Amino acid sequence: MAVAGCGSPSSKNGSNGGGDAKGIETQQSALDPTAKGPAAEVPGAKKGGVITVYSQVTPNTFDPTDTYYADALAIEKLIFRSPTQFAIRNGKPVLVPDLTDLGTVSSDKLTWTFKMQSGIKYADGSEVKVEDLAYAIKRSFAHDVFANGPTYQLTTFKGGDTYKGPYASDDAFAGVETPDSGTLVIHLARPFADLPLYMTFPVFTPIPQAKDTKENYKNNPLATGPYQFDTYTPGTELKLKKNPNWDPNTDAVRHQYPDGFTFKWGGEDPKTQQQVLNSAGEDANALNYGPVDASLIPQLTGDKKAQLIQGEQPCTYSVQMDTRKIPLEVRKAIAKAYPYDQVNKAGGLNSFNSQPASTVLPPSVPGYTKYDALPGLSGVGQGDPAAAKADLEAAGKVGFELSWYYDNTKPVPQQTNQIRVDAFKAAGFAVKPIGVTTAELRSKIADYDAPVNMGQAPQGWCSDWPSGGSWFPVLFQSHSLTDGTSWGELTDKALDAKIDEIGNLPADQAVAKWGELDKEILGMYVALPRYYGKLAFAIGTNIGGAEGDASAGEPFYLNMFLKN
């Protein structure tokens, strides 16, 4: 999942505007293939009312094929069902059946067979068919149209290296088969043991081919979950209402307690978080999913302590540097000059929502190895402009221009931008920050051909599942550049081969190898690790059933209700 944003966190799954990190080691073995609907009732739950959800950062799409930011993924669990899903039990994610079972794999590990539940309907009352699941998978190969979605299928599914999706290619695709009305078969080019985990993503939610409106589908996608679109103003507001054709008896995870949800984006997080904590009027029915601002921490005592929901996140937030455009000696000088402490303080980071990072993998992911921090890559310190300038002088690079995008419509990102400008100028760099609106930011930083050389997306990463296998192949192989998920924009065939070699090892052998590779890659100065995320979000006094989703480092909306 990816993360974007230099001030307030949010992520790309990996997870959007800043940072998350989760501790879900138990997920490796936590699965319940026998789980069935309806989901167990949440103690004290009541029906009715509308929950309001605030955030400063703005999801850029709700097309299920194109979604990879953690906040949008969490919201889409209300709207879309997928072949498999995570239930949250005792704070930990457990993989359970959703539209299908958890699958069985052939002896050669190259064919997975999933049996589908019958009787599932879309919000319009039409039947969900196995062919719709197959079509959604084919649609995900149209990466020229849906450039932001996850891409594991492109490198693991049979024929995925040549198939370009149903718009550019014919309907025949060797990677997917539907032998009968209740069976989905996936053929692989190489073993992919984590496929049932991957199939929790909305990229696998069914889409009828006849209802696919390509780029316009995001404006009113067909729901299979307990809620559907009511009204949507991109970048500003999404109102969800009940889906009358959702059947709780078929769903082992979701509930439909509130009458609806209203998501409001763009307001300053400290302001809306204070509203939520004050809980005046309708704000008692609200929450803010941004990491709680440091300025509000002193209030979170006594009765208000219950308004802070804490949990795990599996994310590392970073500032990446484009290795195509910035030489290694300059990247090292950037690391020396970077004002971690000042940026973090201005951005509202604190011990509740973050801890300094010095590795690629966060501590919650198997394979994490705490090695001695590399120079300038400790996630702490005020920067050393004199030492950085000396390095630039030695390299003949004084005046090297650094450029990045930032949100110029909000005080916090404006302040953190100015801190970076001052620090880099003091170190002998020329700077060219480019201000854009909140709504534009994600699409701008996702463009690797844009006229910037720092701070591109993803500005952080969260585990898609708890393994280095959902980090290194996605972020550092050559295909990551065209996939839009690259840290450093590397194209290194030797590194590609090394990552493939580790990825093909049994999981228990790969763990230590991922840790070794972590240090090797970070030593190439592809990114500045800033912090590992922690989940800490504020809720209104009338919100019940609130908890964190440790599979995504976001709120788990599916159990929420209003107390009164």
- pLDDT tier at 24 (50, 70, 90 boundaries)? very low
Q: 51 forms bridges with which residues in the sheet? A: 261
pLDDT in tens, 67-90: 998 899 999 999 999 999 999 998
Q: Cis before residue 458, ω within 30 degrees of 0?
A: yes
- The answer to which of 5-14, 47-56, 428-437 has the lowest mean pLDDT is 5-14
DSSP E strands, 37-167: 50-55, 84-89, 92-97, 104-105, 111-115
- pLDDT tier at 503 (50, 70, 90 boundaries)? confident
- The answer to which of 3-12, 39-48, 105-114, 222-231 has the lowest mean pLDDT is 3-12
Please state, in angstroms and rounded to a whole number, the distance separating the CA atoms of residues 203 and 73.
10
Q: 229 forms bridges with which residues in the sheet? A: 240
Contacts (Cβ under 8 Å, ≥6 apart) of 259: 47, 48, 49, 50, 241, 242
Closest residue by Cα to residue 141 from 151, 131, 133, 132? 151
Which tokens go with 519? 């240090």
pLDDT over 70 (residue 527) = yes
Higher pLDDT, 229 or 460: 229
Which domains occur in the chain, in start order? 58-259 (3.40.190.10), 312-534 (3.10.105.10)
Average pLDDT over residues 187-194: 90
Structure confidence at residue 193 (pLDDT) = 83
DSSP of 301-334: SGGGGGGEEEE---EEEEEEB-TTTS-HHHHHHH
Please count the other Cβ atoms lying within 10 Å of the Cβ belonging to residue 267.
Answer: 18
Structure confidence at residue 26 (pLDDT) = 29
pLDDT in tens, 121-165: 999 999 999 999 999 999 999 999 999 999 999 999 999 999 999
Structure confidence at residue 60 (pLDDT) = 87
Contacts (Cβ under 8 Å, ≥6 apart) of 509: none
Please state, in angstroms and rounded to a whole number, the distance separating the CA atoms of residues 492 and 309.
42
Contacts (Cβ under 8 Å, ≥6 apart) of 432: 401, 402, 403
pLDDT over 70 (residue 28) = no
Q: 52 forms bridges with which residues in the sheet? A: 262, 286
Average pLDDT, the chain: 92
- pLDDT tier at 412 (50, 70, 90 boundaries)? very high
Which tokens go with 512? 């230590």
**SS3 breakdown of the chain: % helix, strand, coil, rounded to 5?**
30, 20, 50
Structure confidence at residue 12 (pLDDT) = 55
pLDDT over 90 (residue 21) = no
- Please answer whether residues 410 and 56 qualify as being in contact, where contact means their C-beta atoms are separated by less than 8 angstroms: yes
Structure confidence at residue 312 (pLDDT) = 78
- pLDDT tier at 2 (50, 70, 90 boundaries)? low
How far is the first Cα of the chain from the last one, in angstroms, to the nearest whole number?
35
